[in-house]
Amino acid sequence: MEDETLDLRGLKCPLPALMARRALARLPPASAITVLASDPLAVVDIPHMCGEEGHTVESVTRLADHNQFRIRRSA
């Protein structure tokens, strides 16, 4: 099964972190999601939310116009 990609480009803080949290809550434990976010504060907000919720940020890739986060839901 391919991981879900959540495209949140164009949304402003705090929406990317809130919507990523909601998407992670729907996933089965230990599954992964890719989140695309263009808001510059997402590089702070999304890892912070993951730390609070117990999820793992496996990677953050900075691209020309957005960041790509790979997040693993807590077990």
Candidates 67, 2, 75; CA nearest to 33 is: 2
Over the stretch 39-56, which tens digit does the pLDDT of each residue have? 999 999 999 999 999 999
| Number of domain units in the chain | 1
pLDDT at 8 (0 to 100) = 98
Question: What is the pTM for the complete model shown?
Answer: 0.94
The active-site residue, picked from 4, 9, 11, 13, is 13
Domain that holds residue 20: 4-72
Q: Is 18 helix (H, G, I), strand (E, B) or coil?
A: helix
**Does position 1 have pLDDT exceeding 50, yes or no?**
no
Q: Is 13 known to be catalytic?
A: yes
For residue 28, the domain's CATH number is 3.30.110.40
